[in-house]
Amino acid sequence: MKVLWCWRCQMDIPMLDEAEFEQVMQVYAECRRGGIKASLPKEGASINDRIAALLAPVCAEYTRLTGFPETNVNAVLHHRLSLFGPPCATCGKPLRTPQARYCAACGEPR
């Protein structure tokens, strides 16, 4: 785990290395195999609430690994070190991707 600036969240966030991300993805796969009916709120819940309940263990695993209490599964899945590029030579924030040609934070070319 390494704390980096996340351009989506606009804050420093713990990013998962590949081994940690694999642990999170195993939990994600288990949640999906469990099916939507297994752990979902009963009638009257929105589809978003049902999906959040189904995937709550993914957020719990991220919190266990990083100590950061994340509640959005989509955020967990994009907080992966290998998705980000090297630090910008000007501002030091990571580039959005390893292939990025300019820094999204300060606009400087790579």
Domain housing 27: 2-83
Three-state secondary-structure class, residue 33: helix
Residue 47 covered by a domain: yes
Residues 30-67: pLDDT tens digits? 998 876 555 555 677 787 887 888 899 999 999 999 99
pLDDT in tens, 78-110: 999 999 999 999 999 999 999 999 998 899 998
Q: In this structure, is residue 96 part of a structural domain?
A: no
Give the number of domains in the chain: 1
> In terms of Cα–Cα distance, which of 4, 11, 3, 17 is closest to 88?
4
Is 92 part of any domain? no
Residue 15 confidence (pLDDT):
97
Averaged pLDDT for residues 8-17: 95
**Angle (deg, nearest 10), helices 18-34 and 47-66:** 150
pTM score, whole prediction:
0.84
Residue 108 lies in a domain: no
> Is 13 inside a domain boundary?
yes
